[in-house]
Amino acid sequence: MKRRPVDYLWRVVALGMVASVLVACRPKVNQESFEKINIGMTEMEVRKTLGPPTETSGIAIGGFSGASSTWKSKDGAIAIQFLNGKVQAKEFFKPEKERP
Protein backbone atom coordinates (compact mmCIF):
# COMPACT_ATOMS: atom_id res chain seq x y z
CA MET A 1 0.00 0.00 0.00
CA LYS A 2 1.35 3.37 -1.01
CA ARG A 3 1.53 6.20 1.55
CA ARG A 4 -0.30 9.37 0.74
CA PRO A 5 1.35 12.78 1.13
CA VAL A 6 -1.37 13.75 3.63
CA ASP A 7 -0.30 10.88 5.95
CA TYR A 8 3.28 12.13 5.83
CA LEU A 9 2.17 15.69 6.57
CA TRP A 10 0.19 14.60 9.64
CA ARG A 11 3.21 12.71 10.97
CA VAL A 12 5.43 15.77 10.54
CA VAL A 13 2.86 17.98 12.30
CA ALA A 14 2.50 15.49 15.18
CA LEU A 15 6.28 15.22 15.58
CA GLY A 16 6.57 19.02 15.62
CA MET A 17 3.91 19.28 18.33
CA VAL A 18 5.67 16.70 20.51
CA ALA A 19 8.99 18.52 20.09
CA SER A 20 7.36 21.84 21.03
CA VAL A 21 5.90 20.37 24.21
CA LEU A 22 9.25 18.87 25.22
CA VAL A 23 11.10 22.15 24.66
CA ALA A 24 8.43 24.16 26.50
CA CYS A 25 8.63 21.83 29.54
CA ARG A 26 12.40 22.16 29.84
CA PRO A 27 13.41 24.44 32.72
CA LYS A 28 14.80 27.79 31.66
CA VAL A 29 18.20 29.11 32.70
CA ASN A 30 17.55 32.80 33.33
CA GLN A 31 17.43 35.42 36.10
CA GLU A 32 13.95 34.30 37.19
CA SER A 33 15.03 30.67 37.63
CA PHE A 34 18.20 31.82 39.42
CA GLU A 35 16.12 33.71 41.99
CA LYS A 36 14.24 30.49 42.85
CA ILE A 37 17.50 28.92 44.09
CA ASN A 38 18.20 29.51 47.78
CA ILE A 39 21.25 28.91 49.96
CA GLY A 40 20.76 25.60 51.78
CA MET A 41 18.64 23.96 49.06
CA THR A 42 19.60 20.38 48.25
CA GLU A 43 21.15 19.43 44.94
CA MET A 44 17.96 17.49 44.10
CA GLU A 45 15.80 20.57 44.72
CA VAL A 46 18.04 22.61 42.41
CA ARG A 47 17.81 19.94 39.70
CA LYS A 48 14.00 19.98 39.97
CA THR A 49 14.11 23.73 39.33
CA LEU A 50 16.84 23.93 36.66
CA GLY A 51 17.06 20.41 35.24
CA PRO A 52 20.39 18.60 34.84
CA PRO A 53 23.51 20.80 34.80
CA THR A 54 25.46 21.48 31.63
CA GLU A 55 28.76 20.94 33.47
CA THR A 56 29.65 19.59 36.90
CA SER A 57 32.76 18.68 38.87
CA GLY A 58 33.25 17.49 42.40
CA ILE A 59 35.70 16.58 45.13
CA ALA A 60 35.55 14.69 48.44
CA ILE A 61 38.00 15.22 51.29
CA GLY A 62 37.57 13.62 54.68
CA GLY A 63 33.91 13.88 55.64
CA PHE A 64 33.21 16.72 53.22
CA SER A 65 32.10 16.64 49.61
CA GLY A 66 31.93 19.59 47.29
CA ALA A 67 30.62 20.12 43.79
CA SER A 68 30.43 22.95 41.32
CA SER A 69 27.68 22.82 38.69
CA THR A 70 26.86 25.15 35.82
CA TRP A 71 23.67 25.51 33.79
CA LYS A 72 23.99 27.36 30.47
CA SER A 73 21.55 28.65 27.87
CA LYS A 74 21.23 31.54 25.45
CA ASP A 75 19.54 33.48 28.29
CA GLY A 76 22.53 33.25 30.64
CA ALA A 77 24.42 30.88 32.91
CA ILE A 78 23.97 29.84 36.52
CA ALA A 79 26.91 28.59 38.58
CA ILE A 80 26.21 26.88 41.92
CA GLN A 81 28.63 25.52 44.50
CA PHE A 82 27.46 22.71 46.78
CA LEU A 83 28.94 21.57 50.09
CA ASN A 84 27.74 18.17 51.32
CA GLY A 85 24.88 18.30 48.81
CA LYS A 86 23.54 21.76 49.74
CA VAL A 87 23.84 25.13 47.99
CA GLN A 88 26.58 27.28 49.53
CA ALA A 89 26.99 29.90 46.80
CA LYS A 90 25.31 30.84 43.52
CA GLU A 91 25.95 33.29 40.70
CA PHE A 92 24.08 34.38 37.57
CA PHE A 93 25.91 35.45 34.41
CA LYS A 94 24.08 37.50 31.77
CA PRO A 95 24.53 36.51 28.12
CA GLU A 96 27.58 38.07 26.46
CA LYS A 97 25.48 40.39 24.27
CA GLU A 98 23.83 41.98 27.35
CA ARG A 99 27.03 42.67 29.29
CA PRO A 100 28.12 46.34 29.36
Residues 31-85: tens digit of each pLDDT = 999 999 999 999 999 999 999 999 999 999 999 999 999 999 999 999 999 999 9
Tell me how far apart the alpha carbons of residues 91 and 69 are, in angstroms, rounded to a whole number: 11
Residue 12 lies in a domain: no
Q: For residue 57, is it within any domain?
A: yes
pTM of the model: 0.69
What SS3 class is residue 93? strand
Q: Which of 55, 45, 48, 59 is closest to 78 using CA atoms? A: 55
Residue 43 identity (one-letter amino acid): E
- Compute the CA torsion angle 29, 33, 34, 38 (nearest 10 deg): -140
Number of structural domains the chain divides into: 1
pLDDT level of residue 96 (50, 70, 90 thresholds): confident
Provide the domain limits for residue 54.
Answer: 28-98
In a domain, 22, yes or no: no
Domain for residue 15, yes or no?
A: no
- Residue 47 domain-assigned (yes or no): yes
- The CATH number of the domain holding residue 75 is 3.30.1450.10
Instruction: Please indicate, yes or no, if residue 7 is contained in any of the structural domains.
Output: no
Q: Name the nearest CA neighbour of 78 among 66, 64, 94.
A: 94
With respect to residue 10, please indicate whether it lies within any of the assigned structural domains. no
